[in-house]
Structure 1
Amino acid sequence: MKFLTQAIVACVVAATARAATPEQWRGRSIYQLLTDRYARTDGRTTAACDTQNRDFCGGTWRGIINRLDYIQRMGFTAIWISPVTYNIPDRTLYGYGYHGFWQQDLYKLNDHFGTAEDLKELSKILHERGMYLMVDVVANHNGWNGDWRTVDYSRFYPFNDQKYFHRYCPLLNYSNQTEVEDCWLGDSKVVLPDLNTQDSSVVEQYGKWIKELVSNYSIDGLRVDTAKLVDKAFWSSFQQAAGVFCSGEVFAGDAFYTCDYQNSLDSVLNYPQYWPLMLFLNSTTGTSGPLLDSLSSMQSTCKDVSVLGTFSENHDLPRFASQTDDMALAKNVLAYTVLSDGIPIVYAGQEQHYSGYADPDNREATWLSGYSQESELFKLLTAVNSVRNRALYLDESYATYHIHALWNDPNTAVFRKGYDGYQIISVITNKGASSGSWMLTVENVGLAPGKNVVDVLTCKQITVGDGGYLVIVMDGGLPRVYFPVDAAKGSGICGL
């Protein structure tokens, strides 16, 4: 679409930016990929990748470069890639560290993914396209092939001495914050030695490393792994040293607990909303109430919901399609992911309705889909990213507006997000593909009587009635996404 390039270039900060801020990131949409599983240098789309083997399948940074068109055509304006550091080199009882989270040397790249020149080229080409690069980073631990008694600390760099690590204790009680921050992940097969991030030398060396990494590869943002397992004071120092946007993984459902990390990091992933979203949309028996409650809770508790990472899948969680094969529900969950508060994140393969249940089955090779642009979810993402990008192009402050419910019942919710005259009105339902047709009358939608709006998913237009109401016809459990026709003109959305 004509609009996609226009919005990407015009409504966001120039591609030459090298210290992207939260204000610059809040208008982005992120495509998350595992580097080893997204695209191969040779471009093959039939290369085998048995997830149960937990082996390298051949994805590279050069492969990503060659398949950026696929990502950008869906309207994404940033990518999030796997950690880039050197990992456990040999096979463990859990396979290889293809995922990148078992690092041993901070200053050496993972050569399975390519060279330093390849990573620099990926960053350069992303910026030329007006896109951002987010890199996953690990500060909580290193990786070791064996149990805690066998760790050879001299194999690590720069933390090559036991003095840099907490004394061994297994992490068993996640309700004990001291244990969470000081004890070790892993088991007798692969143990993850826990860095003592309260030690000033560790803080200093991590700060030096991350500053150099961001500078050397022109990185725009960081996704911070296992953030809740590290003390908050460390993250404040780490983020300052990085000098770019940081979003932390705080694997917790409590808004007060999770939002508190936003006082140390720019952003966190929105796990408190993830679980209510699944309860509502991964079956036809859920209800909308918990989702609306979580939405309100995050808006009132978090420092800035506009930069939270909003998602419905990632590499640590069961694929949505592993829980239900209802395509209507898959469309609803993606529409909500993109149009809710925060920075939308979509995990590679979700647009192809991949259905792996959990690690390692949810880490499929994207290339086995053939990068089809004809899949129903690819088309839906293109449409909803387009309308979000259009709203941002017209007014960057769109991203700061809180989404709120205009109307709801147990199975359906009508949301509004945006500014008067140019808001997006979305209808999300869990009634499912076999639900037939029904009608909703939604009052006080915030649009003038007589204004025409277009459903960007079907391109059908309806008119706001006297008194500012919309009569919406639902069919087959599909979502609806309405945008004013006059705001869409010139964008290419639905041919306008």
Structure 2
Amino acid sequence: MRFLTAVWLAAFSSFHLCSAATADDWRLRTIYQVFTDRFAVSNNTEAEPCDPAKGQYCGGSWQGIIDKLDYIQNLGFSAIWISPITQQLPQYTPDYSSYHGYWQQNLFELNPHFGTVSDLQSLSDAVHERGMYLMVDVVVNHFAWDGPENQINYSDFTPFNDPKYYHPYCLIEDYTDANDSVIQDCWLGDDQVTLPDLRTEDDDIIDEFTSWIQGLVANYSVDGLRIDSALNVDPGFFDKFVPSSGVFATGELMDGLTSVACGYERAIGSILNYPTYFPLIRAFESPTGSIGQLVDQINGIKMTCQDPTTLGSFSENHDVPRFASTTDDMSLAKNVLAYTLLTDGIPIVYQGQEQHLSGNGTPYNREALWTTSYNTSATLYTFTQTLNQIRTQAIFSSTNYTTYNNYVIYQDLHTLAMRKGYNGSQIITVLSNLGVFGSNYTLSLSATETGYTAGMDVTELLGCTNTTVDNSNTLEVRMGQGLPKVFYPTELLAGSGMCGTIKTVPTTSGFITPGGSPPSSPSSPIPSRTPLGKATSTATPTWFHMFASTLAVFILQYWLA
């Protein structure tokens, strides 16, 4: 059957006619965040020891990603997000090197540490041949210089090679006491590595970036963007930049204020859900965590943001401490992952979370993944596979699952129960912060809470146990060892291969198919600079690649079952 799968994928991916991926398409996806320098070296390169504390390039590359796509796809992910691709500040500095990709100096050249034009094209090809999406991290807020502000040689920057393109020097020293003007106009960084802040409110800056992003998307068949430091960019910048890109974009705002984050969500279309990230971690880092604060935040996001179902749901990334640095409790780790993949939004898992890596903040949370030997038997690797399969099955078997607003149906000091999905196809997720030594107890959920009615057969998908809703319309949930529980109507598992059901190839009949961008053959790395930078080509998508992309996602589910 794997041969049959490969044949179908090869047949459909040969049609390079597609439509740009929209928010509707991205809701159907789950994203694996690849930190390019630390994910994988190529198969013909020997991996060197990598000490994240030293902040040096460790050799990860685009070819390395290609060689390990099986590892990602077998986890059940249908998209990858890679580090910024542009040419970086070349020196090793007192603040380490630019291995992360956020210290760019030239928009129109690639980072040679990650590979060549051909390598990036090949990565895009390889991703799309699997029916997956490619998201690229982009930096529009600043450039980078090794040294203090008064020593910057602006002629080293391309294309913004004059001080007139930048705000006057001032450092952001305290976000908690800063107004919008300070946050948007002052500089990130320090006096070791200064990050000149671009005047993103100016038309010439907007036009340059607009032309650049059109070329990048077209030349590398990019399906989505993650916009770094979006909080520091003038919100009006996104009015032209995002639509001009032609693809879905999500913005980074490391801000826990819902009102601020949702304001940028309306400007960009999506944000990484930091307002929920902070109470999520606090709720599950120990049995004393506040479930109530998390519930308040879930409700606050729904009331304030325009569309919570397009937000990036995450519990780890390269800028925050690993969850395992706060606790090594495996049950708590499972609860956090279950929330991340089964709540509203587009789930994102940071490389190494599936291996329970434990780096405590930057730079320690940027470990080389090859130190894990890419263990596909690791507890959280197989757990993540299952969660991805659950979400895929819900999308496949349900109507408008991804746009249904998840809501809390029960809470107490240690338990959170949520519902996502319409009657007859809803998932009920029950989470606990008691940890691995948590006591056994039974939670009774009514039909008002679950939507399940008397006599309905449901399956707990993490333990593969079946139960029938009793005559009083009550679902009895037996909790223990702090483990999460996920319930789903048993009849909807037919053909999924989950929990002992017989596997059949899924069909896309009646399903909203996601878009995708086809591999193309750019003639330059990133569109070479004509006046203010012009794209060298434009993307030409069709429905057929959309169909192929969706088919690949559901064949993957069958393959993994």
Shift of 1:404: 1.2
Structure 2 counterpart of 1:295: 298
Structure 1 counterpart of 2:65: 64
| C-alpha contact 2:38 2:58 (8 A) present in aligned 1 | yes
CA offsets 1:190-243 (integer angstroms, 9 cap, x no match): 000000111211111011101100110000000000001011100111102211
Q: For 1:386-405, list aligned pairs within 5 A.
A: 386-395=389-398, 397-405=400-408
Distance 2:47 2:500 in 1: 35
The answer to whether 1:458 aligns with 2:459 is no
Q: For 1:165-176, list aligned pairs within 5 A.
A: 165-174=166-175, 175-176=178-179
Amino acid at match of 2:489: P
The answer to whether 1:257 aligns with 2:264 is no
Change (3 A) 1:46 1:464: farther
Structure 1 counterpart of 2:103: 102
Amino acid at match of 2:222: I
Distance 2:95 2:62 in 1: 24
Change (3 A) 1:457 1:45: farther
Structure 2 counterpart of 1:447: 452
Distance 2:54 2:67 in 1: 26
Distance 2:27 2:87 in 1: 31
Structure 2 counterpart of 1:86: 87
Residue in structure 1 matching 2:219, options 200, 216, 222: 216
Q: Secondary structure of the residue that 2:276 maps to in structure 1?
A: helix
| C-alpha contact 2:409 2:419 (8 A) present in aligned 1 | yes
CA offsets 1:465-491 (integer angstroms, 9 cap, x no match): 123221111121110111111111101
| C-alpha contact 1:45 1:368 (8 A) present in aligned 2 | no
The answer to whether 1:420 aligns with 2:410 is no
TM-score normalized with structure 2 length: 0.85
The answer to whether 1:141 aligns with 2:146 is no
Shift of 1:162: 1.0
The answer to whether 1:267 aligns with 2:233 is no
Percentage of matched positions with identical amino acids: 47
Amino acid at match of 2:386: A
Distance 1:164 1:428 in 2: 50
Shift of 1:436: 3.0
Q: For 1:307-322, list aligned pairs within 5 A.
A: 307-322=310-325
Amino acid at match of 1:476: Q
Q: Secondary structure of the residue that 2:268 maps to in structure 1?
A: coil
Structure 2 counterpart of 1:33: 34
Amino acid at match of 1:152: N
Distance 1:108 1:44 in 2: 24
Q: Secondary structure of the residue that 1:440 maps to in structure 2?
A: strand
Structure 1 counterpart of 2:193: 190
Amino acid at match of 2:337: L
| C-alpha contact 2:201 2:234 (8 A) present in aligned 1 | yes
Distance 2:421 2:16 in 1: 26
The answer to whether 1:408 aligns with 2:411 is yes
Q: Secondary structure of the residue that 2:492 maps to in structure 1?
A: helix
CA offsets 1:221-267 (integer angstroms, 9 cap, x no match): 00000001011100111102211101001111111111011221010
Shift of 1:269: 0.7
Q: Secondary structure of the residue that 1:37 maps to in structure 2?
A: helix
Amino acid at match of 2:416: A
Amino acid at match of 2:349: V
Structure 2 counterpart of 1:475: 480
The answer to whether 1:225 aligns with 2:225 is no
CA offsets 1:383-430 (integer angstroms, 9 cap, x no match): 111010111112351001111122111100111101111111111100
| C-alpha contact 1:222 1:244 (8 A) present in aligned 2 | yes
The answer to whether 1:151 aligns with 2:156 is no
Amino acid at match of 1:103: Q
Q: Secondary structure of the residue that 1:313 maps to in structure 2?
A: coil
Moved over 6 A (4+): none
Distance 2:291 2:67 in 1: 41
| C-alpha contact 1:18 1:220 (8 A) present in aligned 2 | no
Structure 1 counterpart of 2:372: 369
Shift of 1:299: 0.7
Amino acid at match of 2:99: Y
The answer to whether 1:52 aligns with 2:50 is no
Q: Secondary structure of the residue that 2:400 maps to in structure 1?
A: helix
Shift of 1:123: 1.2
Distance 1:451 1:71 in 2: 36
Shift of 1:348: 0.3
| C-alpha contact 2:442 2:477 (8 A) present in aligned 1 | yes
Amino acid at match of 1:137: V
The answer to whether 1:357 aligns with 2:356 is no
Change (3 A) 1:45 1:419: farther
Distance 2:168 2:120 in 1: 35
Amino acid at match of 2:432: T
Shift of 1:186: 1.1
Distance 1:399 1:389 in 2: 10
Amino acid at match of 1:283: S
Shift of 1:16: 5.3
| C-alpha contact 1:45 1:367 (8 A) present in aligned 2 | no
| C-alpha contact 2:107 2:159 (8 A) present in aligned 1 | yes
| C-alpha contact 1:47 1:368 (8 A) present in aligned 2 | no
Distance 1:46 1:137 in 2: 27
Amino acid at match of 1:305: P
The size of the alignment, in residue pairs, is 490
CA offsets 1:116-147 (integer angstroms, 9 cap, x no match): 11111111121111110000000000011111
Q: Secondary structure of the residue that 1:267 maps to in structure 2?
A: coil
Amino acid at match of 2:143: N
Distance 1:35 1:303 in 2: 32
Q: Secondary structure of the residue that 1:346 maps to in structure 2?
A: strand
TM-score normalized with structure 1 length: 0.96
Shift of 1:94: 1.6
Residue in structure 2 matching 1:333, options 330, 333, 336: 336
Amino acid at match of 1:492: G
| C-alpha contact 2:31 2:346 (8 A) present in aligned 1 | yes
Distance 1:74 1:493 in 2: 15
Distance 2:485 2:417 in 1: 9
